[in-house]
Amino acid sequence: MIGLDTNVLIRYIVQDDEQQSLLAANLIENQCSAENPAFINEITLCEIVWVLKRAYRYDKIVILTVLKQLLCIDEVYISSHAEAWAAYYDYQTGNADFSDYFIAGINKKFGCPFTFSFDKKACQNENFKLLTQKYE
């Protein structure tokens, strides 16, 4: 597998720096394959969404399209793939950030029935519980 940092993937997706975009495209298109995929870990996937939303001001529908493409292609291996898909669907219909849903999904995978949060938007999802009082 070929590990890719967020900035390489952003250059490939956004194509906003000619030299870096060309290097990223060359690596991804010529070196990554189903047999030797690009590896995108949980943090990188969350950073991609954050950068596209905050730095580039992409609409949610565009971000969902990018996520779906990454989740569907054989040349990319997504860490916690099933949880990433679940987060994708929750993000598609919910009001919280993709990373919130992904965190809760990964926590659930490791045995947490829910994730405590102060984020009221995230807590509209069944995988969260609003922390409103001392927990014992």
Q: What confidence score (pLDDT) does residue 135 get?
A: 65
If you write DSSP's letter for every residue of 50-94 in order, what string do you get?
A: HIIIIIS---HHHHHHHHHHHHH-TTEEETTHHHHHHHHHHHHHS
As a whole number, mean pLDDT of residues 42-68 equals 98
What amino acid occupies position 75?
E
Instruction: Categorize the per-residue pLDDT at 136 as very low, low, confident or very high, splitting at 50, 70 and 90.
Output: low
Backbone dihedral region for residue 49 (phi beyond 0: left; psi -120 to 50: alpha; all else: beta):
alpha
Q: In this structure, are residues 101 and 37 in contact, taking their beta carbons and an 8 Å threshold?
A: no
Q: What confidence score (pLDDT) does residue 60 get?
A: 97
What amino acid occupies position 100?
D
What amino acid occupies position 8?
V
Question: What percentage of the chain carries pLDDT values higher than 70?
Answer: 99
Q: What confidence score (pLDDT) does residue 134 get?
A: 72
As a whole number, mean pLDDT of residues 24-42 equals 97
Reduced to 3 states, what is the DSSP secondary structure of residue 130? strand
- pTM confidence score: 0.91
Q: What share of the chain is helix, strand, coil (3-state, %, to 5)?
A: 55, 10, 30
As a whole number, mean pLDDT of residues 80-87 equals 97
Q: What confidence score (pLDDT) does residue 38 get?
A: 97
Give me 81's structure tokens: 């793939």
